[in-house]
Amino acid sequence: MPAATDAPTRVIVVADAHLGQVPAAVADRFHRFLDQVPRPGDALLVNGDLFDFWFEWGDVVPEKHRATVEKLSLLVRRGIPVTLMGGNHDRWGGPFLSNRGITFHAQPAELTLAGRRAWVAHGDGLTEQHWTGALTHHLLKHKATIAVFRALPPGLGFRIADWLSGTLADSTKDRAVLDRAAAAQRAYATALLAGRPDLSLVILAHTHRPALERLSGGRTYLNPGAWLDGGRYAVIERERVELKTFETG
């Protein structure tokens, strides 16, 4: 992997592609995006739920996502750092990703992005509007749950994951619930920024609702929206943050 001589000055942010649960055209568009948008000097941050399901049993991983992982690994080999945040669908990364140069965070993390200090989390479990969402979050991140799942034969694990992915998707179809969650996210982010003057950015996802809230001093709350909703993403630079849509034309 080429060594970066300078910290990235532009960070591309995407989230909520749910590859494997959406039509193949969404994955094809995402792959074209990876080919065309990140450029030398950039970094890529994927803020959770890139995949409908990701789990590692050693070298046994979901085959349907290998092409995407190889695309991300190719970016790394081109000198573009790639960071994946775990979401409620894909929190269980490990050596398969890290051995390909991809940085993975299962939990919220503080990162330096384009020279700005950022607190980054997918967002599940922070502002859930229904008790089932909060319960699912705690169950899926519990060490005992992960240990039991890892002990299963991969084939059985994949069948359970296919069922669970559909269940989680059904729970996010109520627009009113998502609207309330998005409003709660904004309140959470602005309160965090108010209490942490050292932070320049708070970045969340999960609600599939794009948001860009600028506070005093250029401090910003960002949700890039869902990639699956027409190729939404965001760009972070030291002096500005923008919401964008990937145009395929």
Q: How many structural domains are present in the chain?
A: 1
Mean pLDDT to the nearest integer, 73-96: 94
3 within some domain: no
Alpha helix stretches (DSSP H) within 10-129: 24-36, 66-77, 95-98
Q: Which two tokens stand for residue 98?
A: 């890290």
Single pTM value for the model: 0.87
65 within some domain: yes
Mean pLDDT to the nearest integer, 80-91: 94
4 within some domain: no
The domain that contains 108 carries what CATH number? 3.60.21.10
The confidence score (pLDDT) of residue 176 equals 81
Q: Which two tokens stand for residue 123?
A: 């967002």
Rounded CA-CA distance 152/119 in Å is: 34
Which residues neighbour 22 within 8 Å (Cβ) at sequence distance 6 or greater?
A: 52, 228
The confidence score (pLDDT) of residue 131 equals 47
Q: In this model, does residue 62 exceed pLDDT 90?
A: no
Structure-token match 């030291």, residue found? 238
Rounded CA-CA distance 44/101 in Å is: 12
5 within some domain: no
Helix (H) / strand (E) containing 148: helix 143-151
171 within some domain: yes
| Confidence grade of residue 169 (pLDDT, cut at 50, 70, 90) | low
Mean pLDDT to the nearest integer, 185-195: 94
Task: Report CA-CA distances (Å) from 135 to 18, 62, 188.
Answer: 21, 25, 19
Rounded CA-CA distance 128/125 in Å is: 6
216 within some domain: yes
